[in-house]
Every structure is written in structure tokens, then in C-alpha cells.
Amino acid sequence: MKSFWKKRTPDAPADRSGLAVAYWESHDDELLTASLSKIARRLPYLVMSALRMAWEAHRRDTIIALAGNLVAGVFTVYGLVATSDVLASLFAGGPTPERVRAALPSLALVAAAAGLRGALVTAATWAQARLKVQVERLAETRLFELTTQVELTAFDDDEFHNAMRRARDSGVPDAAGVVEATVAVIGGAVGVLASAVALGLMHPLLTPLLLVTVVPAGWAAVRAARLQYQAYYRLSAARRRKFMLSDLMAERLPAAEVRAFALRDFLLGEYGNVADLEQDVQLDVARRRAVTKAAGDLLTGAATVAVYAALAGLLAVGVIPLPVAGAAVLAIRAGQMSLAGLVQMMNRLYEAGLYFGDYLSFRALAASHVRQPSGTEAPEPSGRLTADQVTFSYPGASGPALTGISVSVGFGEVIALVGENGSGKTTLAKLLAGLYRPDSGTIRWDGADLADLDTRGLISVIAQDHTRWPLTLRENILMGRPLDEERLAAAAAAAGADEVVAGLAHGYDSLLDQRFRGGHDLSGGQWQRIAVARGFYRDAALVIFDEPTSALDARAEHALFERIRKHADGRSIVLITHRLASVRYADRIYVLDHGRVAQQGTHAELMEEGGSYADMYTLQAQAYREAVT
């Protein structure tokens, strides 16, 4: 196992197996090398951050969780001191019944203190459980409030994307973990302090004895936690591969290819290799943890013997009486248990705090990408949507996706954007929809800068990679807008989605996801019709169709373009397609080439002009003629 536990070097070859370090492991090296003193130095910041979030999530539960642990510590001290009085009464001279009766008042106080402490701890635990749920919801809500509002270009930035994934996958659950661990750390600290205070009240010389016993226990707890995390760290990549392989063998989508290519033995073999590795590491860690626990128990035992010897010496010289020595033993045992929990929770708090810090950092980063709305509503279009000398680059790209683009979309016109893959058609469409802002140049809606207008409801985009929402068919078309039965039927008919509805037993109420009971799976062409119906239903002034017929057969494609032309009555249409036969009747065609407008005009004008459009159209027409012959 030595080679496996060896630390990876920076010049290690690139791992193409899927086991490379991922974004969620960004803090693993720090966690592996963090000392207890470093953890303790960071605690104040983490505790304050956690308490602020808990306070925002629910003030009452925060107060109960904290006050319950703090006041419980007071009753712990009182109970330990009262125990000394009980023992003093029981060890006093005289008949046993009289000694028992003399101990009853103190025993009642001990029982009352224990009962009150138990009630407080129960209330604090209940409040803590409530806080965990509420904090996680608050953290997740705040995250999604930002991710659904940031500019679209943010998701094209790999650093932003990785920061978002860390915040979502680790930061959100660890926000609740920080709060939970904070309360546990406070509770553990109160327990240790209560034992120390109780010992100090019994006799000042007893408090140092607590430190003698808790140091070995603390070392063992830290060492065991570190070994456990090392195992998690070393196996995190292997577990990702194991989960990937389990999905390949147990999910619906790859099931057909697993059988068609006879992949069963291969996948089981790969799974076995990873499972063997995981098992070997876990067994090795179990052995190391057992050795650590044995060493910790041995040292704790030796320290306990030393403490008992010290207590015996104090008893022998008359510094403390026997009842105090008995109560001191109980206080030391309680302090040991509290310290073990405290050390483990400190380690957990530090770990969760790193990812919680990522969450807070991402929220600040996302807020910087949020476009502040001007509040100006876009007017109903009566003129043109115009892009003037627009240039745009994606984050981190080596060059601009669009350079000096100028296009114009008139009210009621059908405009087509054509060109080879990568020519910038979809990027330009997103700029015209207001999803991106140009780096330079302007896009104006009836003379007003599009960036300053609220165009919600006035622009509809049917994307080529449209989302297949796991909702009912009706919800897939409405997309949160109020239901209008007549408009729904008209939109479905215009897109040809009414045929899809008619073929489903539950019609518009059919759930479009086979992962759920009663769900249905649709073909690519059927999904495309629903996406087009979604765009029609919005009844927007500008509708952008990005390859709306890529999954349709020729007959369905022709019928859909006929409907799109009819739908253009009273609104503007931007159409992106590779099938040039469908754009012959567009009012204007823009031919894009490497992010620039290479040609523009009607179909007849472009065919007469020659150039790339005429070449592409001729090639496609020739291919159709050859297919017929």
C-alpha cells in the first residue's frame, strides 16, 4: 500500500482515467496538513460566520441551541459539586439509614440538576436539528437567487463555473454543517469547562489533573479523525469512478449500449478493480485506527493511573477528603468525554468552514456578475431591432466570437442567419435576445439600448439545445406563465405538438420523464415540437428559432416552417438553420463566416451574387436531387 499512500507530485502525468483531482477536492491538501493549533486559530471566524447565518435563518432556534448548551454547563457544574456533598453524607460516620437520609437532600439536588440538564440538552438538540434544515434552505435559496440572476457569460467562465459547483455541492451542505459543528463545539467546550470549574470549586489542585487525562484522549481523537479523512481523500477519485460505473450498469440510458456492445464483463471488471482498491484502503485505515485507539487508550489509562495516584497522595496527606476525590473522578471522566467530542467537532468545523468560505466567496463573485435592472420596460416594438458594429468574446477565448456585426430585424420580418458551424449564428441570436451584452457596439430596440430595457415577455428563444423539463406536457409549454386554454391549443397546433398530445393517454397532463411512475419518453422530433410550442405560447414580439427542425423529417420540417411564416404576422422572427431550402422566403438572409457578416440580402439576391450562400444552397440542392435519382 505504500505506493498508494504516497503523496502525489506536481509533475505526475495527466490522468485520463477520470480519477483526476476535481473541483470539490480543492482544500484536501490543506485539510490533510492542518494542525490542531491552526484549526483553533480559525475557530473564532468560523463561529461568528456560522452564528450570523443561524441568526438569519431562525433567531429563536439559535437562542435555544446556544442557551441550552450554556445553561446545561451550569447544571453540570452544580451536579458535580452536589455529588461531592452526596458522597460526604454517605461516607460520614453513623448508621447507614441515617447516612442515606442525610444524603437525600443533596441527592435530590443532583437528580434535579441532571433532569434540568437533560431537558436543556434535549431542547438544544431539537433546536439544533431545526437550525440545520433552515440554514441549508437559506444557503441554497440565496445561492439560487444569484445563479438564476447572473449574466449568462458567467457560465462560460470555467473559474466561475467551478466556484459555483464548489458552492453548490459542498458549500451549501457545509453551511448547515458549520452551524451544527459550531453548536457542538460550544457544547463540548462548555462540558470541558464545566468539569474544570467543578474541580476548581472542589479544590484548586484538582483542575490540572483534568489536563493530564484529556491530552492523550485528545491526541487519539485527532489522530483517528485524520486517518479517517486521509482514507476519504485517497479514495475520493476512486469513489467517483465507482459511482460512474454503477450508473453505467444500473441506469436506463446506457442500458441498451451495455447489451449491444456486450460490456457487462468489462464494466464488472472495472468496478471490481475500484472496489478492491477501496476495500484495501478501508481495511488498512481500520487497522491504523485500531492501533491509534489502542495507543490512546493505553496512554489515557496510564494518565488515569497517574491521576488516581495523585488523588491518593492528596488523600493521604489530608489535602482533600474522600468524597471530594470520588466526585473528582466523576468530573475527570466527564471532562474526558467532552474533550473527545470537542476535538472531533473542531476538526469537522474547520473542514466545513473551508467549503463554507467557498460558499461566501462565490456569493460575492456571483453578485458582481448580476446585471442591475434599470426598471425601464421595453416598449411594444414598432420599428427595428438593430445591432450596430457588435463585437463579443467569450471569457477566456483566444479571439472574438463576433467582430463588427451589424444586422437589422424589422417589425413583422423573418430574418435568417446561416453559415457553417462555429460561424457565430447562435452567439448573435443570444445577443439579439439580450442574453449576452456586447463587448463593443450597441443593440437597440426602437432606438433604446437593449441593455437598459426589461424585455421579459417580449423576446422568446427556442434554443437548439432546449431543455427537456421533467414536468407535464402542459407545464413544458406554459413554463410558469398563466394558463390560457385557447392560446395553448393554438401554440400546440402551430408547432405540430397537438399530434404529440393526441398520442399520449393523459394528453397535456402526461409527465415527460420516464424516471417517474407514469412518465413518458418522447422522440427528439416530438421534443422539438414542444419546444417550438413553448416559444409560440409566449406570444412574444421577437421569436428566435435556433435550428428548430434539426430532429424533424422533411415533411414535418416543411410544415413547421410554413407555420413559422404564418406566426410571423405581427411579430419579428429570427431563424437559424442549416437547411437553406427553408429560408428561401425570408425577408433577409445574413450569411455569417468566422464571426463576421459575409453576405446579406434576399435568397434571389444572394443566389445572383454568388459566394458562400450560393455554394451551400447549390450543394444541398444537388444532394437532394442525387438522393431522388
Statement to judge: residues 197 and 256 lie in one domain: yes
DSSP, res 380? P
**Cα–Cα distance measured from residue 365 to residue 379, given in angstroms and rounded to the nearest whole number:** 33
Among residues 368, 397, 419, the one where a domain terminates is 368
* CB contact at 8 A, 387 and 574: no
Confidence of residue 106 (pLDDT cuts 50, 70, 90): low
DSSP, res 369? T
Confidence of residue 392 (pLDDT cuts 50, 70, 90): very high
| Residues 6+ positions from 570 with CB-CB distance below 8 Å | 412
pLDDT at residue number 11: 39
Among residues 316, 336, 368, the one where a domain terminates is 368
Domain that holds residue 598: 378-455+573-629
Statement to judge: residues 251 and 211 lie in one domain: yes
Instruction: Tell whether 528 is covered by a domain.
Output: no
Statement to judge: residues 259 and 291 lie in one domain: yes
pLDDT at residue number 100: 61
Instruction: Tell whether 222 is covered by a domain.
Output: yes
Instruction: Tell whether 3 is covered by a domain.
Output: no
Statement to judge: residues 327 and 395 lie in one domain: no
**CATH label of the domain that carries residue 261:** 1.20.1560.10
Q: Which amino acid is at 370?
A: V
Statement to judge: residues 68 and 108 lie in one domain: yes
Statement to judge: residues 298 and 419 lie in one domain: no
**Cα–Cα distance measured from residue 121 to residue 134, given in angstroms and rounded to the nearest whole number:** 20
Instruction: Tell whether 558 is covered by a domain.
Output: no
Statement to judge: residues 102 and 144 lie in one domain: yes
Statement to judge: residues 284 and 433 lie in one domain: no
Statement to judge: residues 340 and 443 lie in one domain: no
Tell me the average pLDDT of the chain: 78
Statement to judge: residues 113 and 161 lie in one domain: yes
Confidence of residue 304 (pLDDT cuts 50, 70, 90): confident
| Residues 6+ positions from 406 with CB-CB distance below 8 Å | 386, 387, 388, 389, 390, 441, 597
pLDDT over 90, % of the chain:
4
Statement to judge: residues 169 and 202 lie in one domain: yes
Query: Between residues 26 and 168, which one has the greater pLDDT?
Result: 168
- Sequential DSSP letters for 531-600: HHHHHHHTT-SEEEEESTTTTS-HHHHHHHHHHHHHHTTTSEEEEE-S-GGGGTT-SEEEEEETTEEEEE
pTM of the model: 0.67
Distances in Å between the Cα of 275 and the Cα atoms of 236, 244, 255, 258, 279 are 12, 13, 21, 20, 6
pLDDT at residue number 624: 60
Instruction: Give alpha helix (H) positions in 148-263.
Output: 158-166, 172-202, 207-250, 255-260
**Cα–Cα distance measured from residue 435 to residue 532, given in angstroms and rounded to the nearest whole number:** 19
Confidence of residue 611 (pLDDT cuts 50, 70, 90): confident
Pairing state of beta strands 572-576 and 542-546?
parallel
Instruction: Tell whether 252 is covered by a domain.
Output: yes
* CB contact at 8 A, 369 and 437: no
Residue 391, pLDDT > 90, answer: yes
Angle 318-319-322 from CA coordinates, rounded to 5°: 70
The four Cα atoms 551, 556, 557, 562 give a dihedral, to 10 degrees, of -150
Instruction: Tell whether 557 is covered by a domain.
Output: no
Residue 343: how many CB atoms within 10 A of its CB? 24
Domain count, the chain: 2
Query: Between residues 554 and 7, which one has the greater pLDDT?
Result: 554
Among residues 345, 368, 391, the one where a domain terminates is 368
**CATH label of the domain that carries residue 386:** 3.40.50.300
Statement to judge: residues 242 and 340 lie in one domain: yes
Instruction: Tell whether 600 is covered by a domain.
Output: yes
pLDDT at residue number 13: 37
Instruction: Tell whether 373 is covered by a domain.
Output: no
